[in-house]
Structure 1
Amino acid sequence: MYFVKKSIVIVIGSILISLGINLFLVPYKVLDGGIIGIGLILNYLWGLKAGLTIIVLSIPIFIIAWVSYRDYFYNSLHGMIISSLFIDFLKTNDSLFLINPVYSSILGGVLVGSGIGLMLRFRTSTGGTDLIAQFLCDKTGINVGILIFFIDSFVILLGGILLSTDTLFLSVITIMFVALTTSLFTRNVVQA
């Protein structure tokens, strides 16, 4: 029963992440952090498929997980693959919700953070830097949402330099809401 519940959570979390990215972040070239953010930077600059790029960039992290954190490898591989496929599958050329870019960044951050947080509650993730943050959380006891926030900050600073100051500003708003929402979902999770 737990396996079925976890599988449903991975699908729902992946859909939330994909909707947040495709409906609210992409129309304004806003970034999430981590590997997803790097995938979005490459999408905005060169038109590469964000989901496929996320899979390719996650390979070194999953090799490390296979060697050192096999439990995380098994618990995150399917989350990374499914969320990446949903990001590319649900991509749209037109935004259904053209709203103020600040509100769009907030809504995108809440959806992405909800998807990540929901998955982390079931000891799975999208891999990438979320997986690194989970490793660090287990070792240090620092809330995973806060660790993700610091990693994401680096990625959006890079994106702001490569893309625009608007991207940087809106992305800061997004990762604040991703971190806040993720923290809310994971605050009562007992670390094993």
Structure 2
Amino acid sequence: MKSTNSFKFYVLDLLFKIPWIIIGALMAAISLEVILIPNELIDGGITGISMMLSEMMGFSLSFLLFLLNIPFVLLGYNYLGKRFAFSTSLGIISLTVSTGLLEIFPPFLNGNPILLIFIGGILLGLGIGIVLRNGGALDGTDVLALLISSKTSYSVGESILIINFFIFLFALILFGWKGALISIITYFIATTIVDMVRT
């Protein structure tokens, strides 16, 4: 009886968290496709690498997001468990589908660029934080950050920022000082929000 009740609780808890993972992924996708990409800014992590490859080679962002995150889902499965791997797969698939749908539409949000970038950073941080809080991840570097955080004194947000230092260096070459610097500021806002939401 006890094991049956435990299983029911496990299933109900997972069912409660699934919609939040999808919502978080959608928020991140809106930040990427509606705010960051139209302003020639990049996200960090595998998402940022995907954005740069999409810019340089013309591949679909949604396709690259799915492809490049596969190894990290497997890493999460090996070190963080089946449930984490499932939740992360759901988050990445939701992000992939959402960005794929938003790619169809032209940029439709206009206004003060500084305000938009600030909103983009908050929205991205909220999306990532919600997914992490509900047991998944949206990006391969989130998986690495969780592993680093579990073994060191660094928070998940700090770990994400450290990992992405090298990605933003490459962004400096691709987008120049202005684009890279604003991307770093936006991502700093996002990682701050991640730690706030997750805790």
- Whether the TM-score (by the shorter chain) exceeds 0.5 is yes
Deviation at 1:93?
Answer: 4.7
- Contact kept? 2:45, 2:139, Cα under 8 Å: no
Instruction: Find the structure with the greater CA-based Rg.
Output: 2
What is the deviation of 1:92? 4.7
Unaligned runs of 5+ in 2: 1-11
1:95-147 per-residue CA deviation (whole Å, 9 max, x = no partner) reads 22222333222111111110000111111111410111111112224210111
SS where residue 12 of structure 1 aligns? helix
After TM superposition, list the pairs within 5 Å mapping 1:10-29 onto structure 2: 10-29=21-40
Pairing partner for 1:99 from 111, 136, 145: 111
Aligned residue in 1 for 2:150: 138
Alpha-carbon spacing, 1:94–1:82, altered in 2? closer, same or farther (3 Å): same
Match among 112, 137, 142 for residue 125 of structure 1? 137
How many aligned residue pairs are there?
187
In the alignment, which residue of structure 1 is the partner of 2:4? Answer: none
Pick which of 102-111 and 177-186 moved more: 102-111
When residues 2 and 63 of structure 1 are mapped into structure 2, their CA distance, relative to the original with a 3 A threshold, is closer
**Aligned equivalents of 2:177, 2:166: Cα separation in 1:** 14
Which residue is equivalent to 1:82?
94
* Whole-angstrom distance in 1 between the partners of 2:76 and 2:136: 13
Q: Which amino acid aligns with 2:196?
A: L
- Give matches, 1:146-165, under 5 Å: 146-165=158-177
Which ranges in structure 1 are unaligned for 5 or more consecutive residues? 188-192
Match of 1:190 in 2: none
Cα distance in structure 2, aligned partners of 1:95 and 1:47 = 18
Say whether the 8 Å CA contact 2:18–2:87 is kept in structure 1: no
**C-alpha deviation, 1:148, in angstroms:** 1.0
* Matched position secondary structure for 2:171: helix
Distance 1:160 1:84 in 2: 26
> Which ranges of 4 or more aligned residues in structure 1 deviate by more than 4 Å?
none
